[in-house]
Amino acid sequence: MFGKYPLTQSLLVFTLQLSQQTLADTAFVGRTATDSSSLAGMGSAAALLTFSFYLFNFLCTVTTPLVSQRRASGDVNGAIVLGGQALTLALLLGILLTLILLVFSEGLLRVMGTGQTGHESRQFALDFLHFRAVAAPAVFVISASTGILRGYLDTKTTVVILLGSNLVNFSLDVLLIGWLKMGPKGAAIATTTAGMYMKGSAYNNTIRIIVCCHGCH
């Protein structure tokens, strides 16, 4: 179905894989929770994080055409410089978002409805948000790296990295939530760790692709 549209296929798989990590976290927490407060808190924090991360989706969607245009025009150095700028911007924006989410966490979660769910639920939401907020720079670097890789017509690397990231997340969910009973905090640690793994893999593969393509020219 998507054979003729590799970029569309890559984007679809990228979106689905990110959603699957949240679904896995929710499923594990739901199976081990003794009441609804943990899921209520995690749901509020997850919704806030999803909204915050998707506001910066342009790091991927804008980077792809800019890099590909420079490569198409023969400006190899320009494509490399633009890729570096995208990664730097992603890192800075990620750090900024992390600080905002950590400093204003209670107010932001009240907007998401935790003020109506009780103290225990609010604490679960804070725990989940604080651990997941640390992953914002990683998420943004992944997004920028994905855009760069697509600009170099590499649509498979991201999918492979995402599958590996899902395996890391699932394994840690089993350990932290299923065995150690850490609840939403364990889910946040699992997803953050998977994000860090994915960031490192995406960054290293982006550099590899750029170096290989630059060497060919």
**110-152: pLDDT as tens digits:** 999 998 888 999 999 999 999 999 999 999 999 999 999 999 9
Q: In this predicted structure, what is the pLDDT of residue 17?
A: 55
Confirm whether pTM is higher than 0.75.
yes
Give me the pLDDT at residue 210, please: 82
The per-residue DSSP string of 69-121 comes to: HHHHTT-HHHHHHHHHHHHHHHHHHHHHHHHHHHHTHHHHHHHTTGGGS-HHH
pLDDT of residue 2: 43
Averaged over successive runs of 10 residues, the pLDDT of the chain (217 residues) comes to: 48 58 88 89 93 91 94 93 96 98 97 90 96 95 92 88 91 96 95 93 89 68
